[in-house]
Structure 1
Amino acid sequence: MNKRGVDCDGKPYNRFFLIAVLLLGAFCVVANHTVITTALPGMMHDLHIDADTGQWLTSGFLLMNGIMIPVTGMLMHRVSSKKLLIAAMYLFLTGTVLASAAPNFSLLLIGRLIQALATGIILPLMQAVLLLIFPKRERGVAMGLDGLVLALARVIAPTSAGWTMDHFNWRILFCSFIPLALIVLLLAQKGMKTIVPLDERRIDKLSLILSTLGFGSLLYGFSSVGRYGWVSAPVITGLAAGTFGVACFVFRECTITSPMLNLRVFRSPLFGFSVFAGGTLMTVMFGAELVLPIYIQTVRGESAFFSGLVMLPGALVMGIMNPVTGLVYDRVGIRRLAIAGMGLLTLSTLPFVFLTMTTKITALAILYAVRFLGIAMVMMPITAAGMNTLPDTWISDGTAVVNMMRTVIGSIGTAVLISVMSDVTERELPEKGMQASDPALAHVLRTDAALNGVNAAFLVAVGFCAVTWALTFFLKKKSG
Structure 2
Amino acid sequence: MACLGGILLNTQSTTAKSSGKRNLFIFTLLLGTFSMSISQSSLSTAYPTLMRTFNVTADTVQWLTTGFMLVMSILIPVSPWLLHNIPFKRLFQGIIAIFFIGTLFCILAPNFPMLLIGRILEAIAVGIIFPSYQTVLLTITPKKQRGGTMGLAGLVMGSALAVGPIISGVLLQFFSWQGLFILFLIMMVITFVLSLGAIKDVMTLEKSSIDGLSVVLAAGFPGVLWVLTEFVHGGFHSWLAWVILVASIIGMVWFVGRQLRASKPLLQLKVFASKIYTMSVFLTGISYIALIVTTIIMPLYFQQVLHISPLMSGLSLVPAAVVLSLLNPISGRLLDKVGGTFVIRIGMCLIIVGMGLMALFANAQLLGIAILAAIITESGNAFVMMPAVTWGANALTKDLLADATAVTTTVRQILGSLGVMVATEILTVVTQLHQATAGAAGAQLLGFRVTFIVFMLVGVLGLLLTLTMGHLSKTQA
Structure number with the higher helix fraction is 2
- CA–CA distance in structure 1, aligned partners of residues 30 and 287 of structure 2: 21
> What residue number does 2:126 align with?
119
Q: Equivalences for 1:415-454 in 2 at 5 Å? A: 415-418=421-424
Shift of 1:295: 4.1
Q: 1:53 to 1:419 in 2, by over 3 A?
A: farther
- After superposition, the C-alpha distances for 1:335-371 in whole angstroms (9 at most, x for unaligned) are 2222221121122023445786972222222221111
- CA–CA distance in structure 2, aligned partners of residues 237 and 70 of structure 1: 23
- In structure 2, list runs of 5 or more residues that go unmatched: 1-13
- CA–CA distance in structure 2, aligned partners of residues 453 and 112 of structure 1: 35
Shift of 1:476: 2.4
Which one of 250, 256, 264 corresponds to residue 262 of structure 2?
256
**Contact 1:425–1:453, Cα closer than 8 Å, also in 2:** yes
Shift of 1:272: 1.1
- One-letter amino acid of the structure 2 residue matched with residue 128 of structure 1: T
Q: 1:98 to 1:299 in 2, by over 3 A?
A: farther
- One-letter amino acid of the structure 2 residue matched with residue 476 of structure 1: G
**Count of residues paired in the alignment:** 458
> What residue number does 1:438 align with?
none
Shift of 1:208: 0.9
> What residue number does 1:194 align with?
201
**Greater displacement, 24-33 / 418-427:** 418-427
Shift of 1:325: 0.7
Q: 1:116 to 1:450 in 2, by over 3 A?
A: farther
- CA–CA distance in structure 1, aligned partners of residues 175 and 432 of structure 2: 31
Q: Equivalences for 1:44-443 in 2 at 5 Å? A: 49-50=57-58, 57-58=64-65, 60-100=67-107, 107-165=114-172, 170-212=177-219, 214-228=220-234, 230=236, 233-297=239-303, 300=306, 302-353=308-359, 359-418=365-424
**Greater displacement, 55-64 / 318-327:** 55-64
- After superposition, the C-alpha distances for 1:45-93 in whole angstroms (9 at most, x for unaligned) are 886645x766654454344323212211111111111111111112212
- In structure 1, list runs of 5 or more residues that go unmatched: 6-11, 431-443
The normalised TM-score by structure 2 is: 0.84
> What residue number does 1:470 align with?
464
Is the partner of 1:77 in helix, strand or coil? Answer: helix
Is the partner of 1:315 in helix, strand or coil? Answer: helix
Is the partner of 2:470 in helix, strand or coil? Answer: coil
**Contact 1:317–1:369, Cα closer than 8 Å, also in 2:** yes
**Contact 2:286–2:458, Cα closer than 8 Å, also in 1:** yes
The normalised TM-score by structure 1 is: 0.83
- CA–CA distance in structure 1, aligned partners of residues 305 and 32 of structure 2: 36
Q: 1:378 to 1:360 in 2, by over 3 A?
A: same
Q: 1:331 to 1:227 in 2, by over 3 A?
A: closer
- After superposition, the C-alpha distances for 1:115-141 in whole angstroms (9 at most, x for unaligned) are 222112222222222112211111111
Is the partner of 1:35 in helix, strand or coil? Answer: helix
Is the partner of 2:469 in helix, strand or coil? Answer: coil
Q: 1:405 to 1:182 in 2, by over 3 A?
A: same
Shift of 1:183: 0.7
> What residue number does 2:9 align with?
none
**Greater displacement, 131-140 / 293-302:** 293-302
- CA–CA distance in structure 2, aligned partners of residues 2 and 294 of structure 1: 52
- One-letter amino acid of the structure 1 residue matched with residue 270 of structure 2: R
Shift of 1:194: 0.3
**Contact 1:38–1:293, Cα closer than 8 Å, also in 2:** no
Does residue 1:34 correspond to 2:28, yes or no?
A: no
- CA–CA distance in structure 1, aligned partners of residues 430 and 230 of structure 2: 13
Is the partner of 1:76 in helix, strand or coil? Answer: helix
Q: 1:333 to 1:91 in 2, by over 3 A?
A: same
What is the CA RMSD across the aligned residues, in angstroms?
3.5
- After superposition, the C-alpha distances for 1:208-242 in whole angstroms (9 at most, x for unaligned) are 11110x12332232222244454653443333222
**Greater displacement, 109-118 / 57-66:** 57-66
Shift of 1:475: 1.7
**Contact 2:146–2:390, Cα closer than 8 Å, also in 1:** yes
- One-letter amino acid of the structure 1 residue matched with residue 397 of structure 2: P
**Contact 1:95–1:112, Cα closer than 8 Å, also in 2:** yes
Is the partner of 2:203 in helix, strand or coil? Answer: coil
- CA–CA distance in structure 1, aligned partners of residues 290 and 102 of structure 2: 27
- CA–CA distance in structure 2, aligned partners of residues 36 and 142 of structure 1: 28
**Contact 1:421–1:457, Cα closer than 8 Å, also in 2:** yes
Which one of 14, 24, 32 corresponds to residue 25 of structure 1?
32
Q: Percent identity?
A: 32
RCO comparison, higher one (Cα < 8 Å, 6+): 1
Is the partner of 1:14 in helix, strand or coil? Answer: helix
- CA–CA distance in structure 1, aligned partners of residues 466 and 417 of structure 2: 23
- CA–CA distance in structure 1, aligned partners of residues 295 and 40 of structure 2: 11
Q: 1:115 to 1:467 in 2, by over 3 A?
A: farther
**Contact 2:349–2:380, Cα closer than 8 Å, also in 1:** yes
**Greater displacement, 238-247 / 377-386:** 238-247
- CA–CA distance in structure 2, aligned partners of residues 338 and 62 of structure 1: 28
Shift of 1:98: 3.4
